[in-house]
């Protein structure tokens, strides 16, 4: 036991003597949560648009004023000819062009029909859809205002209720994701690097011939990163609650227990990586490209799993992060108890056990 403590102390020194890395390890989750909370948003705001007004009359001016007055759009420029539209899109300045037909007012008052063309930059399809929807509804609003307060017959109204997140804040889905990503990277990447580093520099031999048992060496490597991860969980949750105003509906103890389980799973994965590669660079590449991008994209963190082809849905089941994210959402946002998450918990437990078993089998205590 005393030996183990000495070793853990040694590992702590490794980390503490490198304040720059410490700063990044502890500061990164903070930066990411804040970026997600305030910067990364899919809400349309001040989208740059261009207007080609071929009519230049009172009506078109009124519509343009209405569009300019909305928070969605920012009229970047007024065009004069059709050719300029192409150029405006290709320099990337605008996302939407609104084109009024010539004689707009005349047509509207005399034939009761005039047309507006909307052209969207659909290289980002969702953005394009949303922009067209917003612009159309502003124009339709204007059209309705021309008709006066005339009620239509047989109207179906809808009442929309947004459960769990009435303001549709993006942070509700990104906090669980950021936690999954950061914990996985710190625990899996750092542990694997720390172990492989000893292999690479040759100090592993010294450790292996010492009287301490090999598995204690591994545990002593994992403990400091476990503690760091735990600090990060706490700081992310504090930020989410006190800075971003996100509630914790369920039991906070259950939430922390689940985080600890996930950290264990990540540490086991790190251990497994370290038994499979021989250089730090390879360990980093595997952890970064093999973990960072898949967690960002396949775990349900940024993109809904239900939209994926079935083969990717199957693949996402292998990621511990997927299960962890479900657990955090259920407990933290929906406020469910253990009965709501026991399946996911079992999956995480199983993965952890499997990874530890595999690592023990592969862990070599002999030199080549």
Partner 1 sequence: MRTILFLLRKEFLQISRNKSILPIIFVMPIFQLIILPFAANYEMKNISLSIVDMDHSLTSQRFINKITSSKYFLLKEAPNNYNAALKSLENDEADLIIEIPRGFETDLIKENEIKMMVTANAINGQTSGLSVSYANSIIKDFNNEIRVQWIQNPRLNPRPMINITSSNWFNPLMNYKYFMVPGVMAILVTLVGFILSSLNIVREKEAGTIEQLNVTPIKRYQFILAKLIPFWILGLFVLSIGLLISFLLYGIVPEGNILIVYAFAAIYLIALLGLGLIASSNSDTQQQAMFIAYFFMSTAILLGGLFASIDNMPRWAQYITYINPVSYFIDVLRMVILKGSSLYDLRNHFMVITAFALVLNAVAIIGYRKTT
Question: Please, which of residues 345-364 interact with partner 1 by CB under 8 A?
Answer: none
Q: Is residue 35 near partner 1 by the rule CB under 8 A?
A: yes
- The alpha carbons of the chain give a radius of gyration, in whole angstroms, of 28
What's the closest the beta carbon of residue 3 comes to partner 1, in angstroms?
25
The only residue of 48, 103, 235, 345 in contact with partner 1, by rule CB under 8 A: 48
Give one DSSP letter per residue of 273-305, joined into a string.
HHHH--SHHHHHHHHIIIIIHHHHHHSSSSS-G
Asked if 205 interacts with partner 1 (CB under 8 A), we say no
Nearest to 30 by CA among 238, 227, 224, 190: 238
Indicate the DSSP class of residue 52.
Answer: E
Q: Which stretch binds partner 1 (CB under 8 A): 22-30, 210-218, 220-228, 356-364?
A: 22-30
Task: Report d(CA 364, CA 353) in Å as an integer.
Answer: 19
Residue with Cβ nearer partner 1 (214 or 340): 340
Cβ 211 to partner 1 shortest distance, Å: 27
CB of 292 to partner 1, least distance (A): 7
Residues 158-187 that bind partner 1 (CB under 8 A): 158-170, 172-173, 185
Name the segment binding partner 1 (CB under 8 A); options: 104-112, 205-213, 248-256, 351-359.
Answer: 104-112
Cα–Cα nearest to 225, from 16, 28, 6, 1: 16
- How far is residue 235's CA from residue 241's CA, in Å, rounded to a whole number? 10
Instruction: Point out which residues pair with 52 in neighbouring strands.
Output: 79, 99
Q: Does 112 bind partner 1 (CB under 8 A)?
A: yes
User: Which helix (H) or strand (E) is 75 found in, with range?
Assistant: strand 73-79
Q: Is 194 in the site for partner 1 (CB under 8 A)?
A: yes
Q: Tell whether residue 278 is a contact of partner 1 (CB under 8 A).
A: yes
| Paired tokens of 183 | 């914990």
- What residues between 245 and 264 interact with partner 1 by CB under 8 A? none
Contact 274, 191 (CB under 8 A): yes
Contacts to partner 1 from residues 294-353, by CB under 8 A: 294, 297-298, 302-304, 306-309, 312, 315, 326, 329, 333-334, 336, 340
């Amino acid at each position: 036991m005393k030996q183990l403590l000495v070793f853990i102390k040694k590992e702590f020194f490794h980390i503490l003597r490198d304040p720059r890395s410490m700063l990044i390890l502890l500061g990164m989750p903070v930066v990411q949560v804040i970026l997600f909370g305030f910067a990364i948003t899919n809400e349309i705001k001040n989208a740059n648009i261009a207007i080609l007004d071929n009519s230049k009359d009172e009506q078109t001016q009124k519509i343009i004023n209405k569009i300019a007055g909305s928070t969605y759009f920012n009229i970047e420029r007024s065009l004069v000819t059709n050719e300029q539209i192409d150029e405006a899109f290709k320099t990337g300045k605008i996302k939407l062009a609104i084109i009024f037909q010539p004689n707009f007012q005349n047509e509207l008052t005399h034939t009761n029909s005039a047309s507006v063309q909307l052209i969207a930059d659909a290289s980002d399809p969702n953005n394009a859809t949303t922009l067209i929807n917003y612009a159309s509804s502003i124009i339709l609003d204007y059209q309705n205002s021309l008709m006066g307060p005339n009620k239509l017959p047989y109207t179906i109204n809808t009442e929309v209720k947004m459960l769990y997140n009435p303001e549709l804040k993006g942070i509700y889905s990104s906090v669980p994701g950021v936690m999954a990503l950061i914990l996985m990277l710190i625990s899996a990447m750092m542990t694997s690097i720390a172990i492989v580093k000893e292999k690479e520099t040759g100090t592993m031999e010294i450790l292996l011939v010492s009287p301490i048992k090999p598995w204690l060496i591994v545990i002593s490597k994992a403990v400091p990163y476990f503690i760091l991860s735990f600090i990060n969980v706490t700081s992310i949750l504090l930020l989410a609650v006190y800075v971003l105003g996100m509630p914790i509906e369920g039991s906070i103890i259950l939430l922390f227990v689940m985080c600890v389980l996930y950290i264990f799973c990540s540490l086991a994965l790190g251990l497994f990586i370290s038994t499979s590669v021989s250089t730090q660079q390879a360990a980093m590449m595997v952890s970064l490209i093999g973990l960072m991008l898949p967690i960002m994209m396949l775990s349900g963190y940024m993109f809904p799993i239900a939209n994926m082809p079935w083969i990717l849905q199957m693949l996402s089941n292998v990621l511990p992060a997927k299960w962890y994210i479900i657990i955090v959402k259920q407990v933290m946002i929906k406020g469910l108890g253990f009965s709501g998450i026991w399946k996911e918990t079992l999956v995480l437990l199983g993965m952890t056990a499997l990874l530890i078993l595999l690592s023990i089998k592969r862990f070599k205590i002999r030199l080549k």
